[in-house]
A and B are shown apart, each in its own frame.
Chain A
Amino acid sequence: MNVQTPPQKLQAKDYVTDQEVRWCPGCGDYAILKAVQRTLVELQVPREKTVFVSGIGCAARFPYYMETYGFHTIHGRASAIATGVKLANPELDVWVVGGDGDTLSIGGNHTLHLLRRNVDVQLLLFNNEIYGLTKGQYSPTSRPGTRSPSTPYGSVDNPINAAQFALGAGARFVARSSDILQKHLPEVLKRAHAHRGASLVEILQNCIVYNDGAFSHFTDKGVQADMQVHVEHGQPLIFGNNSDKGLRFTADGLGLEVVKIGEGGVAKEEIAVHDEKNRTLAFLLAQMQPPSFPVAMGVLYNDPAAPYDALVWAQAETAKKKNGEPDLAKLLRRGHTWTVA
């Protein structure tokens, strides 16, 4: 029988596994899981061609809840394993999921190299600025002064900014969203998926147990509009409750400043326009922090280049054409041989 039945349209439930989700009640990871499942429904990605790879941490439980292929690996190494997956089979659609400790501390080196190589995967960095699974120690993204079991007097070291790190590593796609931005997040994920090459999406995620409210000063309903700027390619960088605030290049052109449109004669035309291909602008947006600046959300940078896995395979194909058919007997005879009669 060769009758082709039209493929059933996949529903959100089709991406849900039979495994009981074991995150703490109220964890931001639930919302991210829903957003990812919704995104895959919208994209109608074939489940069997999709692989979720994770390291260790709360976020790294993610693959068990996705009805796709999944590999829950070891702490920090998800990006390295995903590189092997993608190298060996570039046809697979690979998502890497990790927390801030997994991705920026123990696995920081692999994150750097995944991004600079531009391996064609989506890297979802759930940043909650704390270690959850090991019970509340501060993380490399924790703000100075963070009190935790390992820093009872407050942390004194400087945190890393994930988006800046990614840009510095040479990432070609850097975006930011949040667990509570349920409309925004799937849109960003779709953009990340469409990008060929490594796509870093930093997802600010609330840890209800160990770091509750870490982002509330810019994610709470009342302050969201004033404390977040949602960037869109080709659109002016305007934000605020009344859409009356904007970001303008400083007089020396080397920075951004917050201005109020109409105040002090500031014209709307003076507001900087987002350009996804401008890496310098992306750096400026990535580093903005409350209270003096809003937090930039959306696709900060998107300037695709050929992915590593595609280049490796293209090179192999060229070499195969040049070298001809494989011949084991010939291979062993390379160089000097002699016959003993």
Chain B
Amino acid sequence: MADSAAVDERGAGGRRELDSAVVRFAGDSGDGMQLTGSQFTLTAALAGNDLATFPDFPAEIRAPVGTTFGVSAFQINFGARTIKTSGDLLDVLVAMNPAALITNVADLKPGGICIVDTGAFNERNLVKAGYKANPLEDGSLTEKVRLVKIDMSRLTLEAVKPFGLSQKEALRSKNMWALGLVYWMYGRDRQATVKWLEGRFKGKDDILGANVAALNAGHAFGETAEMPAEMSTFTVPAAPIAPGLYRTVTGTDAMAFGLVAGTRLAGLRMCFCSYPITPASSLLHALAPLKEYDVLTFQAEDEIAAVAAAIGASYTGSLGITSSSGPGVALKGEAIGLAVAVELPLIIVNAQRAGPSTGMPTKTEQSDLYQAVYGRNGDAPVCVLAVSSPSDGFDVGMEAVRIATKYMTPVIVLTDGYLVNAAEPWRLPDVTKLAPIDVRFRTEAEGFHPFLRDQATLARPWVKPGTPDLIHRIGGLEKSYDTGHISYMPANHQRMTDARVNKILGIANDIPEQAVDNGSEGGRLAVVGWGSTYGPISRAVDNMRRAGKDVSHIHLRHIWPLPRNLGALLGSYDKVLVPEMNKGQLLTLLRAEYLVAAEGLNKVNGKPFLIIEIEAAIARLLGE
């Protein structure tokens, strides 16, 4: 039950019609594979496909040329049906050098198409990649895959000759040549990419000309040259997509939009304070230009200063937001505790990456759930939300603003390295229909003290400094429940700790009950996920259900507090499976909260789950 399949051998113009296809472009980090992939994505979206992408790039900005650790890849799964993951195995691999081949060829499906640039398969590159013999010559590949050998380097040089570029510059158009060829394979229009190139190389006519020429040459090569027998052409029709206006969004874009929308709905200025860290920095980049949306961005001197400045901003009545990845969030821990103690709104976006310590900065993981839920000194509960797909960041961003301001609490939003870079089509919401977020600042002096609690939410009042007659002090020392002044009284600390805990637990009454994403309430097996595992779990459960299996998918957005019906819901299944890209963190939480005998499926190799991995686990638990 793979994620892509041919449905019809007769396509238009002799092309084979496919339900979906998975293509990966892989090359040196300087080969422009990310650009190539994003152009292919845009064109697929414009052709009406549903899609999901997985950019996978090295931590080094410019790793030594030709090395395996310098390989940058971009994978896209596009289809005539709903696409939920970036795909398990590849239908087509484009490998621009030996290092790209050796690191990626194993992901190609048996009989898949492997297009290589023979021009890059010289002795030096083969040695760097670790090949003892040339794999294009020794027959080692042809048994498994359909190898298409093309000297793309030479053909690119010929195509761009009229533009008088140096050889080095000319070869930089090689990616466009490859893109042109793959466009031809799938019968794709080049116009959107030409337009994009025109924008990118405005005023550099020679480079623009070379790139367009290479793109066209790759396409023409497919059309006119005597293509090897291994090559096929395909068509992937438009997917049945709900009507509306669409764009592609990355997880970063959607989160930025969600936070902007949320703060505007709340009528607040956003004060986004951050310190660069992979893979979180792109959120700072996305928000920094948006000054007319009352977004103020601050690149602090370190992670601690970033969260501290955000708290300072929230103290004045703006909404302080900070972002980081696990190591940075660790540094912010004490300050998050301060925000818990002084009960100020604060949003912390954690783009999780593979750990511990520096770990693998550009590789994805979901291993900061413990840190988010438990990772502070003292009983310091916060609200924790998780993003499940790139576009989901929009809703989660708004939800974080709503909860942070309504409950005067830090909210940690967990996203991850996969989600922030991955893209999918997104039907634009009608922004006039978004639910308003009601924020009130206290100005009334009568009966005021800074820790007076709203009886319904247990939230304290938000007061802007500058407000006459409400002058007060707050701080990290324990405060009297009744006056807001410093208090070390034992009974008072009990009461305040209970109030802080109950305030957060009470959020469970203000969020939707947990729904079953696919399947039934009750049954033999529930697969419970959170975060970016949504895609593979969703597809795997869907496939298994189509095969008649009694399995359901539950996916959590609210990690803390958990939805109020979750315990009962989980209890209605014989078995519970929790797939996670960590060693079992949600699993522990669910077991601890509900004494449920859930089992984990755990993977930490820096890559998202494959659908088949989850299908296998489902089959195992169902005893098949």
Residues from chain B with a CB closer than 8 A to the CB of A323 are: 291-292
How many whole Å from B134's CB to the nearest CB in chain A? 41
Q: CA separation between A109 and B275, bound complex, in Å? A: 14
Q: A329 near B431 (CB under 8 angstroms)?
A: yes
Q: CA separation between A88 and B315, bound complex, in Å? A: 9
The segment from A48-56, A154-162, A213-221 found at the interface with B is A48-56
Q: CA separation between A338 and B425, bound complex, in Å? A: 10
Q: CA separation between A87 and B475, bound complex, in Å? A: 20
Residues from chain A with a CB closer than 8 A to the CB of B269 are: 88
Given A72-B475, A84-B311, A326-B294, the answer on whether A339 and B244 have CB atoms closer than 8 Å is yes
Smallest Cβ-Cβ distance to A85: which chain B residue: B312
Given A47-B471, A109-B301, A320-B291, the answer on whether A336 and B42 have CB atoms closer than 8 Å is yes
Chain A contacts with B in 176-203, Cβ cutoff 8 A: none
Q: A88 near B316 (CB under 8 angstroms)?
A: yes
The residue among B261, B313, B316 with the most chain A CB atoms within 10 A of its own CB is: B316
Chain B: how many interface residues by the 8 Å CB criterion?
A: 71
Q: B271 near A48 (CB under 8 angstroms)?
A: no
Chain A contacts with B in 54-82, Cβ cutoff 8 A: 63-64, 67-74, 77, 80-82
Residues from chain B with a CB closer than 8 A to the CB of A85 are: 312-313, 315-316, 465
The segment from B302-310, B549-557, B605-613 found at the interface with A is B302-310
Residues from chain A with a CB closer than 8 A to the CB of B594 are: none
Q: B interface, by DSSP: helix, strand, loop or mixed?
A: mixed
Q: Is B468 an interface residue (CB 8 A)?
A: yes
Q: Is B65 an interface residue (CB 8 A)?
A: no
Smallest Cβ-Cβ distance to B42: which chain A residue: A336
Q: B247 near A83 (CB under 8 angstroms)?
A: no
Q: Is A332 an interface residue (CB 8 A)?
A: yes
Q: Is A306 an interface residue (CB 8 A)?
A: no
Residues from chain B with a CB closer than 8 A to the CB of A19 are: 485-486
Q: A64 near B316 (CB under 8 angstroms)?
A: no
Q: A340 near B476 (CB under 8 angstroms)?
A: no
Q: A337 near B475 (CB under 8 angstroms)?
A: no
Smallest Cβ-Cβ distance to A63: which chain B residue: B473
How many whole Å from A169's CB to the nearest CB in chain B? 11
Q: CA separation between A19 and B316, bound complex, in Å? A: 23
Q: A89 near B317 (CB under 8 angstroms)?
A: yes
Q: Is B293 an interface residue (CB 8 A)?
A: yes
Q: Is A325 an interface residue (CB 8 A)?
A: yes
* Partner pick for A70 among B298, B432, B474, CB 8 A cutoff: B474
Q: Is A92 an interface residue (CB 8 A)?
A: yes
The residue among A49, A53, A71, A91 with the most chain B CB atoms within 10 A of its own CB is: A71
Given A84-B310, A332-B428, the answer on whether A337 and B476 have CB atoms closer than 8 Å is no
Q: A113 near B243 (CB under 8 angstroms)?
A: no
Q: Is A230 an interface residue (CB 8 A)?
A: no
Q: CA separation between A337 and B104, bound complex, in Å? A: 32
Q: A88 near B317 (CB under 8 angstroms)?
A: yes
Q: CA separation between A87 and B470, bound complex, in Å? A: 22
Q: CA separation between A88 and B192, bound complex, in Å? A: 41
Q: B473 near A72 (CB under 8 angstroms)?
A: yes
Q: CA separation between A74 and B377, bound complex, in Å? A: 13
How many whole Å from B463's CB to the nearest CB in chain A? 9
Chain B contacts with A in 425-472, Cβ cutoff 8 A: 427-429, 431-432, 464-472
**Chain A, 299-341, contact with B by CB distance < 8 Å: what is the 0/1 string?**
0000000000000100110011001111011011101111111
How many whole Å from B315's CB to the nearest CB in chain A? 6
Q: B309 near A84 (CB under 8 angstroms)?
A: yes
Residues from chain A with a CB closer than 8 A to the CB of B45 are: 336, 338
Q: CA separation between A49 and B468, bound complex, in Å? A: 8
Residues from chain A with a CB closer than 8 A to the CB of B296 are: 87-88, 312, 316
Smallest Cβ-Cβ distance to B48: which chain A residue: A340
Smallest Cβ-Cβ distance to B265: which chain A residue: A328
Q: A48 near B308 (CB under 8 angstroms)?
A: no
How many whole Å from A166's CB to the nearest CB in chain B? 16
Smallest Cβ-Cβ distance to B429: which chain A residue: A332
Smallest Cβ-Cβ distance to A91: which chain B residue: B466
* Partner pick for A332 among B48, B257, B292, B315, CB 8 A cutoff: B257
Residues from chain A with a CB closer than 8 A to the CB of B475 are: 63-64, 70-73
Top 7 A-B residue pairs of the complex, sorted by shortest distance between their CB atoms: A84-B312, A72-B475, A84-B309, A80-B308, A70-B473, A80-B305, A88-B313
B residues engaging A (CB < 8 A)?
42, 45-46, 48, 192, 241-248, 257, 260-261, 264, 269, 271, 273, 289-294, 296, 298, 300-302, 304-305, 308-318, 320, 334-335, 337-338, 342, 427-429, 431-432, 464-477, 485-486
13 contacts between A and B (CB under 8 A): A48-B465, A70-B472, A80-B309, A83-B298, A329-B431, A332-B257, A332-B431, A333-B247, A335-B247, A336-B46, A336-B192, A340-B48, A340-B241
Other than the given A69-B471, A82-B312, A340-B246, 5 more pairs (CB < 8 A) read A47-B471, A74-B476, A88-B312, A88-B318, A333-B245
